[in-house]
Structure 1
């Protein structure tokens, strides 16, 4: 069994729809009622949720977005490159990792409404991170679009969209 397989087994991770493997580790008991969340939300949301998320150099997390802010936390393995496109179409990328002296960030916040994707740039490597979402994650807030539609929205970001989406 490889180290990656051992981590997947030890943490009881499952395939994630956007790529990689995950397990929800926390969902607050308390909830924010719909009337306090704003018009874009339908129904209540937990205060916060958290997952383990594992990516390998053989896979990537495709461009998607959620309504909430998402905090990425680095735990183990190689750094991860997080690609972000704002609703206005501005692109940035960020290295989430442990080597802060080399400019890596142990945490990074993706603002709600931004499109984002992630990859492990090192060959034959993995990255184990955590993602905390507040208000808590719900698949009702998850937006995954086809490549062609994202290119129509952001034609000037075609290269990175093609790299980090499936046809």
Structure 2
């Protein structure tokens, strides 16, 4: 009889071979479209698509504000819900929650267009973690990502200063 391993953040990090991400949380690239021609972008050649696992935990509960050039589709898997804060170029703030409670309006999938400032935050729950995947097109490259600078973001979006201060590092 197999012994059941308790599902917790440490077990998931180990099982999925995740490593710390610069924005917070943990990740691992799981796919890149090697069998397709590379896509030419203004920033250089990129894979047509890439995909990662991304995990937030009680020890690393925030994915800080950052900006990606590519479109990203997020897929919720398991654990606690995750709140996403999206700031659009015109200053519009949109907040959504990814999680399993679709009846309460939580999303299983979330599309974030390239060019949007995005942050994520693990919501309190019993699991102590939230696991998603992301599909990125054109494929993710760290050269296409910009971490949010608190002072610059607060200057650009002063109406969201309190949120920006909460979801960035000085």
Task: From 143, 146, 150, give the equivalent of 1:143.
Answer: 146
TM-score (norm 1): 0.92
- Misfit runs of 4+, over 6 Å: none
Structure 2: state its 5+ residue gaps: 1-5
Task: From 123, 126, 130, give the equivalent of 1:127.
Answer: 130
Alignment of 1:1-167 (within 5 A): 3-29=8-34, 30-34=36-40, 37=41, 41-58=42-59, 59-122=61-124, 125-167=128-170
Structure 1: state its 5+ residue gaps: none
How far off its partner does 1:121 sit? 1.5
TM-score (norm 2): 0.90
Alignment size in residue pairs: 162
Give the secondary structure class of the aligned counterpart of 1:165: coil
Give the superposed CA RMSD.
1.5
Give the secondary structure class of the aligned counterpart of 1:129: strand
